[in-house]
Amino acid sequence: MTLTEQIATLTGARVTARVPLHGGDLSKVERVDLDSGQSLVAKQGPQVAAEAAMLRTMARVGAPVPKVLGEAPGLLLLEFLPETPSSPRSWAALGQALRKMHKVTGDTYGWDMDYAFGTVGIPNSPCRNWPQFWAENRLLTGVNALPPDIVARLKSLADRLPGLLPQHPPAALLHGDLWSGNVLFTGERACFIDPACYYGDAEVDLAMLTLFGQPPNAFYEGYGPLPHGHEKRRPVYQLWPALVHLRLFGAGYRGMVTGLLDSLGA
């Protein structure tokens, strides 16, 4: 069955147009127009079933996310939200929504299933000690795919994590891959897309959001006060997405990784 036929079967409507959408480094994403007048997003990839479960979890706790409209093996149909330029009001709305989501907590760190960014596995086995979780399930996962000099520095840093990170921060519900490209602004709203959810320190999402840019003050006004010492912990949390980018996209991200390690004295 072709993709067009799958969509018609799931929606009961005829597809009139398919338009590629931006992004999609790790999956194929298209806007699909139907003869009913509705538009939706069709996303194809090996992790879309897990993503659907994450979106439903986020929706249940009131986080702004696209509605899941249909599923088939390797295919996810989502509500289409027209994108508009961001504004101070929509950035403030993002901060408020993220704070609300972070107030939802779990019993342990991790998630009920592992995940992946393309070829980079993301183990989420539950753990009650946060530095241990961050070392074993993030910084030291897949080290066989990294240069030996970086691996040695990561192992040295992992030994120091109990002195750098809180032992038992609240296990907040995280987006897990929160950079600006995974936020969709529509009108005065901001919606989360492309989650990689798990429970962990809320500062993980905040650190990721500053890795490739800096949110405006309106975001922080919406989110509220940040924990004391968050600036010192930020590089530890930024190191994980930097390692993911190094593994997925190559040596162009080596400088980012080594720069973060330098800042941590590793």
Query: How many DSSP H helices and E strands does the chain contain?
Result: 9, 11
Which of 177, 194, 201, 205 is catalytic? The answer is 177
3-state DSSP assignment of residue 19: strand
Instruction: State the Cα–Cα distance between residues 105 and 180, nearest whole angstrom.
Output: 24
Are the CB atoms for 136 and 127 separated by under 8 Å?
Answer: yes
Handedness of CA 135, 141, 146, 147 (dihedral sign): positive
Instruction: State the Cα–Cα distance between residues 102 and 28, nearest whole angstrom.
Output: 29
Q: Is 177 a catalytic residue?
A: yes
Place of tokens 């760190």: 109
- Which tokens sit at 84? 């508009």
- C-alpha distances (whole Å) from 184 to each of 16, 41, 76, 209 are 25, 13, 18, 13
Neighbours of 25 (CB within 10 A): 11
The region that residue 166 occupies, defined by phi over 0 for left and psi between -120 and 50 for alpha, beta otherwise, is: beta
**Which one-letter DSSP state was computed for residue 40?**
E
- Which tokens sit at 24? 């999609």
- Which tokens sit at 188? 């005065």
**Which one-letter DSSP state was computed for residue 127?**
B
Instruction: State the Cα–Cα distance between residues 19 and 195, nearest whole angstrom.
Output: 22
- Provide the annotated active-site residues: 177
